[in-house]
Structure 1
Amino acid sequence: MAVGPVAQIHISVSDISRAVAFYRDVLGIPLLFEVPGQQMAFFASGDVRLYLGVPESPEFASKCVLYFRVDDIEAEHARLVQAGVPAHGAPHVVHRDGGMELWMSFLTDPDGHTVALMQER
């Protein structure tokens, strides 16, 4: 037996409204639904569902790095910086292998999680 692919990732947030605005309006990730009366929102990121929520207790708090594929890393990085997202430097090559280069750029969401952009060229 083996587990299947990742289905959902929890991201701890301190303010659900601010987090929804960032992930939906700034990053452009489709919002699936918010749970009425609870501090929870779910987004569709390919086959993986992102679950943003205010943790009920400290043992459920998460700190994560999210890596998003993009088609044009320079353009997407510039768009997010223009929108006020804090960046940690410019897009750059992190790996070369034969005919492929892996480019990355790192930014920060409102709760301090690192959001990485990645493009294979």
Structure 2
Amino acid sequence: MSKAPDTMTIGHVHLKVSDLPRAVAFYEAVIGLTVTQYYGEEAAFLSAGGYHHHLGLNTWSSKGAAPAPKRAPGLFHTAFLFPDRASLGAALRRAMDHGVKIEGAADHGVSEAVYFSDPDGNGIEIYRDRAPEDWPRDAGGALAMDNRPLDLEALLAEAPAD
């Protein structure tokens, strides 16, 4: 059986939202993305660093709809990878400054992650990876990921001052 190339990445996520202006405002203010293009009044594309889009938002079949039930199949969360601990701390501060309710935080050994939801109930993870040589491994060399508490105050302390 063939496998995906080692260099493959996930290019973007496209979410159904109920209120496009509200969703765009959230992802701009809280995650720090920039709108690259609107597609009429029903979709928007956002990115970081000038990429065509990391995130698509649309109301094609969801305008005005209630959030999907938490226990229904579907996307668990979209994960936004930050390059280092300081930028993750800044992202956490931005989320908290916008009144986002933090739903969880964990040190997975391979990464540090913070979890919350957007206004439509879509799960979000903001995280940073540790260098692969620092990943925890068991005696046989296999990954030994964990789910330890993450010290959010220490993470916030590493965020650059505004």
TM value normalised by structure 1: 0.74
Deviation at 1:32, TM superposition (A): 0.5
Deviation at 1:5, TM superposition (A): 4.7
1:15-62 deviations in whole A, cap 9, x for unaligned? 0010010111222112101122x31000124655311001337xxx96
CA distance in 2, matches of 1:111, 1:118: 21
Q: Which has the higher contact order (CA 8 A, sep 6+)?
A: 1
Q: Which residue identity does 1:92 align to in structure 2?
A: A
Equivalent residues of 2:31, 2:91 under 8 A apart = no
1:59-78 deviations in whole A, cap 9, x for unaligned? xx964511112223334213
Unaligned runs of 5+ in 2: 63-67, 69-73, 131-162
Equivalent residues of 1:16, 1:39 under 8 A apart = yes
Deviation at 1:7, TM superposition (A): 3.7
1:61-100 deviations in whole A, cap 9, x for unaligned? 96451111222333421331121112113x43113xxxxx
Say if 2:131 is the partner of 1:117: no
CA distance in 1, matches of 2:79, 2:119: 16
Equivalent residue for 1:86, pick from 101, 120, 126: 101
Closer, same or farther in 2 for the Cα pair 1:51/1:82, shift >3 Å?
same
RMSD over aligned Cα, in angstroms? Answer: 2.9
TM value normalised by structure 2: 0.57
How do 1:1-80 residues align onto structure 2 when only pairs under 5 Å count?
Answer: 5-36=9-40, 38-45=41-48, 49-56=54-61, 63-70=75-82, 71=84, 72=86, 73-80=88-95
